[in-house]
Structure 1
Amino acid sequence: MAYKIAVYDAKPYDEAVFNKANEKYGFELIFHKEHLDTNNAILASECDAVCIFVNANANATAIKKLKQLGVNLIALRCAGFNNVDLKAAAEEGIRVVRVPEYSPHAIAEHTLALMLSLNRKVHRAFLRTRDGNFSLHGFLGFDMNGKTIGVIGTGRIGKTVVQVLKGFGMDILAYDVYPDHAFAEKEGITYTTLDEIYAKSDIITLHCPLTKETEYMICDTSLAKMKDGVMIINTGRGKLIHTKHLIDGLISRKVGYAGLDVYEEEGNYFYEDRSDSIMTDDVLARLLSFNNVIVTSHQAFFTQEAMSNIANTTLNNISDFFAGKTLVNEVVFKP
């Protein structure tokens, strides 16, 4: 009998790519449009594993319910795992796996797309010319060549961003808790402190994981250390930025541009069509009112190559678990 997998937060494109990849594995995939949380953990009834995405809430209560239903594996189809209570999973004997890399190029290229669109006002020009207005007023940009960019987090994605940006002739500063000095020497970049990045960077781009140490790292205190008119890009996790403080920075013009592919309260909006609803999130509504802000719906990963990698890695993680093999992509709780 095929193992049953409850796939939460499934969109039509998820079903298509997972069904295609599953031809190799033969699991029984049961797709649900809902996010995993304490209320709908019951949807995993009679399933052996669950597959979840970034907006799931796998808290202790949800995990306990999953265990009671017979679930022994949580398979994240993303790199981040901050939405899973790893301690609770360990206590319940549920293993957790993830997809550590699906396409760093996809996210790096989207990061660049946000920078260029904000700088050259492509989003505004698109709307203006459609109305027959070909004025250049308000569209003055700047040469990225010669400017300083601070890359916070130099894992696979951060490194790819560095390599992409080198072609622009930028001065690249980097910060990471575990700096890769061999990489820095090879690429001709400089590791430095966060304070120096804040003080010197014309553009700051975030590629670090969300931890207790990085939560709200971009806040009123760090913003005060930055150049006036700084551009901030976040394709990492929403809670790296204190959004209300960012808005204050936009109003005061301390922040000249913001490109956000993530938002700290994105769960009720991102990946859903809310165009017929009234937006009740006042903070998100305020963000969207700025013409120097671009918000995209956590889509940086969304390329054909990345989706294929996500599906294949996720199903291979699940296959290894049921085969009793070493889980190379396991996330282990560390007290």
Structure 2
Amino acid sequence: MGYKIAVVGATGNVGREMLNTLAERKFPADEVFALASSKSIGRTVGYGEDDEISVLDAATFDFSRVDIALFSAGGETARKLAPKAAEAGCVVIDNSSYWRMEPGVPLVVPEVNGDALAGYAKKNIIANPNCSTIQMVLALKPLHDIATIKRIVVATYQSVSGAGRAAMDELFNQTKGIYVNDLPKKEEFTKQIAFNVIPHIDNFMDDGATREEWKMSVETRKILDPEIAVHATCVRVPVFVGHGEAVNIEFEKPITVEEARKAMKDFPGVSVVDYRQDEGYVTPQEVQGEDNVFVSRVRKDPTVENGLSLWCVGDNLRKGAALNAVQIAEKLVAEFLPRK
């Protein structure tokens, strides 16, 4: 027998990608439920190439009917419904930020700290990290294993899909409107996003950082090593799908560019494309639909002892969200959750 799975937030960008990923990877599911808010009842969403699933109301759904629920419906829904689902015996894998720093809730990138899943039963909730954190720690884990990272300074270049479908529509409409002299309308972003970059993602905190920058810092330490210092600047850019990151790393031990490239090439989920010539690197546009994180521009930083810089890109809807959640579910059923 297989498992029964629910996807909460099934009509959103990530929810639809979760359904696609479950089907593509042939997850051992006997039944899949698509859940969303009551306003989506009656709609259908795709599952695989041919199947359509009717959307049910997440608020009234009986979670005892399923073994695993993949949540991608925002923090407020996760706050209300995740404990309800967990108490019903369903294991929740939540993509929002709500549960990530909760004690007793594993925060997991399977290739990096999959062993943390052993503690899932404390709350029956597992947290999916921030999209930018996922791709960064995936690239840095093999480097940390051989040279021990002391400090990370990262600037992100995050696509609008990370802010949802309405944000993608705003970029499209602003771009189109500019060509016909329409004034850009700002609804999802604080400033015009078309032909612009915005150094502001999520709310500002008292120290001047945004919550997105704070997330990258605390999540990296929870996943990779609590001793690592992280300083992030997170920027929204006019790209539909795919995040880029310029990462500067200071290590405790010497590490060469060649050693770093080899370690990352040998690590699951990471591809290295790094040629010091035109087109010898990977951009966000090229990784749309790809599962791996791609690393380029690996080079020595001569301004600090044992320093390297690199560029990494990933599809934020796949490995940055849906794929990572499905991989958590795959590891969960393979190693921790017995078949009924």
**TM tier, shorter chain?**
0.3 to 0.5
Q: Name the one with the larger strand percent.
A: 2
